[in-house]
Amino acid sequence: MTFRNLGIIDPILDALKAEGYEKPTPIQEQAIPVLLEGKDLLGCAQTGTGKTAAFTIPILQLLSAEKNRKVRAGSPRALVVTPTRELAIQIGESFSNYGKFTGITNTVIFGGVKQGNQTRILKEGVDVLIATPGRLLDLMNQGYVTLSNVGWSVLDEADRMLDMGFIHDVRKIIAKLPPKRQSLFFSATMPPEIVELSKKILGNPARVTIQPEMTTAEKVKQSICYVEKADKPALLTHVLRENNDRATLVFTRTKHGADKITRFLKKAGITSNAIHGNKSQTARQIALENIKKGYTKVLIATDIAARGIDIDDLQLVINYDLPNIAETYVHRIGRTGRAGADGQAISFCDKEERAYLKDIHKLIKQTIPEVRFSFITEKPSNEPAANRKAQDSSKILREVLPPALKHHVKPGKPGRQGKIPEHLQTRLSVGKSEIKELEQKGQGSQPKRIIRLKRK
């Protein structure tokens, strides 16, 4: 199947070629003909399936086929409502990219920034408006936008809207849409409230449900690493060093946690950027550009900030914290392995997070395989410098390390890498089998030690 076979017009075909899209993804293959026929669509699709192009391309085509198309101030012909500003910007980019030879105009509006630029463009008039719910309602109430002329409406990531508490705003927006329109509704999951909402929006009974060919959970190579909470920083540092050539997205549950990670990574010599709700729009955009262009390899994000992030070559997702909502796990790992590419997801799980993991296993209907890393951490000392005694780390390591790890140890010169002050000896994290081995040697009862190792 090709885009030409789907009946796509030349100006859009040329743009898709410029994007490097050779053939439609399964969701595009199914959705585009239905939408070009003018039918409503219920898209039950995970992120990464190519769903944005699946609705952007036919809307562009239908808009450009409109006779006497007139752009009116504050009165778009097509409306896309989406939960986050990042997602809104990306959808805007899709309309601009795929529609660059059609003359169809678009603009994006979202909160958290001054409205002046947005209202100026709205006054000039655009064909397509992409908006987050709060700012859209705000500008509607101020009289800058009217929906009376909307012929196409798209509700994207409906389940996220529900999670983020936007559902009331969305209902108010829907109430203002004209009854005669083509409606598109996308959601990765279909909880009862979302089914209810979709019934309200999708007036035309000839609707289609699209399931992705392969679920994200099947596509992404997943692993779980059981770890003590206190050892997570060292584990993250270790995994990032092992994967230093891969674009990596690290998820944390809190904004504070995201900032903390950037700080300890900085100390470990790893550059990263964080994006979360407290960061300015500019800071978020810079962070995204940095990783997209490969200037930085590591982006730390909270769930809300990461929603809609589209980094084509994102190879690794790390769940520094496990999410307490299992669906969020699927959304997170869906950031890698996009549009058929291979992706990998490593999740850290401490004792308190075991219950979350159980929910995730239930949802994805599989048990995530365990992965183990041998990594080393240091603890800062409170002892005065004068009391610190140097010890030969290689000697200590030879005592405590299992044979499989001994080759890591290189004797060093006193006071240099190989000499570890006593205060730095804390715990050595090793897997179960290694601990057993240490116990057999009568060393299991000793406090486990962590010693600074030379990197391989």
Binding status of residue 338 toward ligand AMP by CB under 6 A: yes
Nearest distance, CB of residue 255 and ligand AMP, angstroms: 24
Give 156 or 353: the residue with its C-beta nearer to ligand AMP: 156
Q: Name the nearest CA neighbour of 420 among 443, 449, 384, 455.
A: 449
> Can you tell me whether residue 351 is helix, strand or coil?
helix
Binding status of residue 187 toward ligand AMP by CB under 6 A: no
Sheet containing strand 316-319, strands side by side:
220-226, 343-349, 316-319, 248-252, 298-302, 272-275
Nearest distance, CB of residue 29 and ligand AMP, angstroms: 9
**β partners of residue 185:** 42, 155
The string of DSSP letters for 228-247 reads -GGGHHHHHHHHHHHTTTS-
Nearest distance, CB of residue 272 and ligand AMP, angstroms: 22
What is the rounded distance in angstroms from the CA atom of residue 315 to the CA atom of residue 299?
12
Please give the C-alpha separations between residue 419 and each of 261, 389, 415, 455, in angstroms, as whole numbers. 28, 10, 5, 15
Give 181 or 338: the residue with its C-beta nearer to ligand AMP: 338
Binding status of residue 82 toward ligand AMP by CB under 6 A: no
Burial class (CB in 10 A: 0-12, 13-18, 19+), 443: middle
Instruction: Choose the binding region for ligand AMP from 22-30, 161-169, 286-294, 433-441 (rule: CB under 6 A).
Output: 22-30
Binding mask 31-70 toward ligand AMP (x if CB under 6 A, else -) reads ----------------xxxxxxx-----------------
What is the rounded distance in angstroms from the CA atom of residue 9 to the CA atom of residue 3?
9
Terminal CA-CA length for the chain = 48
Binding status of residue 296 toward ligand AMP by CB under 6 A: no
Nearest distance, CB of residue 246 and ligand AMP, angstroms: 17
Binding status of residue 21 toward ligand AMP by CB under 6 A: yes
Binding status of residue 247 toward ligand AMP by CB under 6 A: no
Nearest distance, CB of residue 132 and ligand AMP, angstroms: 17
Binding status of residue 312 toward ligand AMP by CB under 6 A: yes
Nearest distance, CB of residue 64 and ligand AMP, angstroms: 19
Nearest distance, CB of residue 7 and ligand AMP, angstroms: 15
Binding status of residue 339 toward ligand AMP by CB under 6 A: yes
Binding status of residue 144 toward ligand AMP by CB under 6 A: no
> CB of 338 within 8 A of CB of 48?
yes
Local structure of residue 279 (DSSP, 8 states): S
Binding status of residue 291 toward ligand AMP by CB under 6 A: no
Cα-based angle 430, 435, 439 (whole degrees, multiple of 5)? 150
Q: How many residues touch ligand AMP (CB under 6 A)?
A: 15
Binding status of residue 335 toward ligand AMP by CB under 6 A: no
Residue 439 makes CB contacts below 8 A (sequence gap 6+) with: 445
Give 46 or 296: the residue with its C-beta nearer to ligand AMP: 46
- In 131-144, which positions are buried (b, 16+ CB within 10 angstroms) versus exposed (e)? bbbebbbbbbeeeb
Nearest distance, CB of residue 26 and ligand AMP, angstroms: 10
Instruction: Choose the binding region for ligand AMP from 19-27, 64-72, 99-107, 283-291 (rule: CB under 6 A).
Output: 19-27
Nearest distance, CB of residue 322 and ligand AMP, angstroms: 24
Give 51 or 238: the residue with its C-beta nearer to ligand AMP: 51
For residue 239, give the amino acid letter: V
Give 48 or 133: the residue with its C-beta nearer to ligand AMP: 48
Instruction: Choose the binding region for ligand AMP from 24-32, 201-209, 363-371, 425-433 (rule: CB under 6 A).
Output: 24-32
Instruction: Choose the binding region for ligand AMP from 6-14, 23-31, 280-288, 399-407 (rule: CB under 6 A).
Output: 23-31
Among 40, 127, 163, 310, binds ligand AMP (CB under 6 A): 310
Structure tokens at 160: 């996220």
The string of DSSP letters for 19-82 reads HT--S--HHHHHHHHHHHTT--EEEE--TTSSHHHHHHHHHHHHHHH-TT---BTTB-SEEEE-
Give 231 or 310: the residue with its C-beta nearer to ligand AMP: 310
Q: Name the nearest CA neighbour of 157 among 186, 193, 191.
A: 186
Q: Which residues bind ligand AMP (CB under 6 A)?
A: 21, 24-25, 28, 47-53, 310, 312, 338-339
